[in-house]
Chain A
Amino acid sequence: MKSPPALLEPRGTAVLDDYIVDIAWAADGSRLAVAGGEGKVCRIENSSDALSVSEVGQHGLGALAVAWHPKQALFVSSGQDGELRLYDAIDGKVLARQRPSKSWTTHLTFSPDGSQLASAAGKQISLWNSQLESQHALPSLEATVAALGFDKSGRDLAAAINGGVVVHRLEGPRYPVRHYRWAAPCITVNFSGNGKFLAAGTQDGSVHFWYLATGRDSQMRGYPGKVDQLGWSGDSRYLATAAGDRVVVWDFGGKGPEGSSPQQLAGHTDRIECLAYQPRGNFLATAGLDWRLSLWLPGKFPAAIDAHLTDSEPSCLRWSPDGRFLALGERKGKLSIFELVRI
Chain B
Amino acid sequence: MATTDRVPVTVLTGFLGSGKTTLLNRILSENHGKRIAVIENEFGEVGIDHQLVIGAEEEIFETNNGCICCTVRGDLLRILGQLLKRRDKFDYIIVETTGMADPGPVAQTFFLDDEFKQQFLLDAIVTVIDAHHIEKHLDEMKEPGEQVAFADVILLNKVDLVSEAELERIERRIRAINGTAKIFRTRNADVPIERVLDVGAFDLNRALAVDSAFLEPQYPFEWAGLYDLAAGRHELRTGSDAHEHHHEHHHHDENCDHAHHEHHAHDHGHHGHDHHDHDHDHAHEGGLAVALLTAGAGEPAAVIADNIEPAVRAFAEDGVQIDCGGTLKPATAPYRIDVGHDGSHFHIDIERAGRYVLVVEHAPIEFGLRIEGAKPIVERRFASHHHDEEISSIGLTDPRAVDPNKLNDWLSYLLKSRGADIFRMKGVVSIKGEPRRYVFHGVHMMFDGQLERPWPPGVDRVNTLVFIGRNLDRQELEAGFHSCFA
Contacts and interface: CB of A to CB of B under 8 A. Distances in A.
Interface string A70-103: 0000000000100000000000000000000011
B76 to A, nearest CB: 11
Nearest to B62: A183
A102 B78 contact: no
A185 B87 contact: no
Contact of A203 (B55, B63, B87, B114): B63
A221 B61 CA distance: 18
Contact of B61 (A62, A185, A331): A185
Contact of B86 (A19, A102, A162): A19
Interface string B106-127: 0000000111000000000000
B31 interface: no
Contacts of A62: 82, 85-86
Interface string B43-73: 1000000001011010101111010001000
Contacts of B476: none
Contacts of B85: 19, 21, 37, 62, 315, 331
Interface in A140-181: 143-144, 146, 162
A204 interface: yes
A315 B86 CA distance: 11
Nearest to A184: B63
A122 B57 contact: yes
A223 B187 CA distance: 50
Contacts of B82: 37, 62, 64, 80, 104, 106
A204 B63 contact: yes
Contacts of B277: none
A37 B86 CA distance: 5
A332 B87 CA distance: 6
B78 A106 contact: yes
Contacts of A225: 113-115
Residue of B66, B70, B75, B82 with highest tally of chain A CB at under 10 A: B82
A333 B88 CA distance: 12
Contacts of B61: 162, 185, 203
B74 A185 contact: yes
A38 interface: yes
B52 A203 contact: no
Interface string A12-43: 00000011010000000000000001100000
Nearest to A244: B114
A12 B249 CA distance: 77
A18 B87 CA distance: 7
A80 B86 CA distance: 13
A266 interface: no
A203 B78 CA distance: 11
A333 B87 contact: yes
B46 to A, nearest CB: 15
Contacts of B74: 143-144, 162, 185, 203
Given A19-B87, A38-B88, A203-B77, A144 B59 contact: yes
B86 A38 contact: yes
Nearest to A225: B113
A61 interface: yes
Contacts of B59: 143-144, 162
A109 B83 CA distance: 22
Contact of B64 (A38, A64, A204): A204
B63 A185 contact: yes
Contacts of A104: 54, 82
Contacts of A184: 63
B190 to A, nearest CB: 30
A276 B78 CA distance: 21
A226 interface: yes
Contacts of B55: 102-103
Given A21-B85, A62-B85, A62-B86, A146 B63 contact: no
A184 B65 CA distance: 9
A184 B70 CA distance: 11
Contact of A226 (B43, B54, B62, B113): B113
Contacts of B70: 204
Contacts of A331: 85, 87
A102 B42 CA distance: 12
Nearest to B60: A162
Nearest to B85: A37
Contacts of B75: 144
Contacts of A37: 82, 85-87
A203 B57 CA distance: 18
A66 to B, nearest CB: 14
A64 B87 CA distance: 15
A60 to B, nearest CB: 9
A106 B70 CA distance: 26
A21 B83 CA distance: 11
A313 to B, nearest CB: 9
Contact of A38 (B43, B78, B87): B87
Contacts of B57: 103, 122-123, 144
A331 B89 CA distance: 12
A189 to B, nearest CB: 15
Contacts of A106: 78, 82
Interface string A209-229: 000000000000000011000
Contacts of A61: 52
Contacts of A103: 55, 57
Interface string A184-212: 11000000000000000001100000000
A122 B63 CA distance: 20
A226 B57 CA distance: 22
Nearest to B113: A225
A287 B88 CA distance: 22
Interface in B254-270: none
Contacts of A185: 61, 63, 74
A271 B113 CA distance: 12
A144 B86 contact: no
A279 B142 CA distance: 53
B74 to A, nearest CB: 6
A144 B57 CA distance: 9
Nearest to A204: B63
Nearest to A316: B85
Nearest to A61: B52
19 contacts: A18-B87, A19-B87, A37-B86, A62-B85, A62-B86, A80-B54, A102-B43, A102-B55, A104-B54, A143-B59, A144-B78, A203-B74, A203-B77, A204-B63, A204-B64, A225-B114, A271-B115, A315-B85, A333-B87
- Report the 10 A-B pairs with minimum CB-CB distance, sorted nearest first: A37-B85, A204-B63, A185-B61, A37-B86, A21-B85, A225-B113, A19-B87, A19-B85, A38-B86, A61-B52
Given A122-B57, A203-B74, 15 more contacts: A19-B85, A19-B87, A37-B86, A37-B87, A62-B85, A62-B86, A106-B78, A144-B75, A162-B61, A183-B62, A184-B63, A203-B77, A204-B64, A271-B115, A315-B85
Interface of A: 18-19, 21, 37-38, 61-62, 64, 80, 102-104, 106, 122-123, 143-144, 146, 162, 183-185, 203-204, 225-226, 271, 315, 331-333
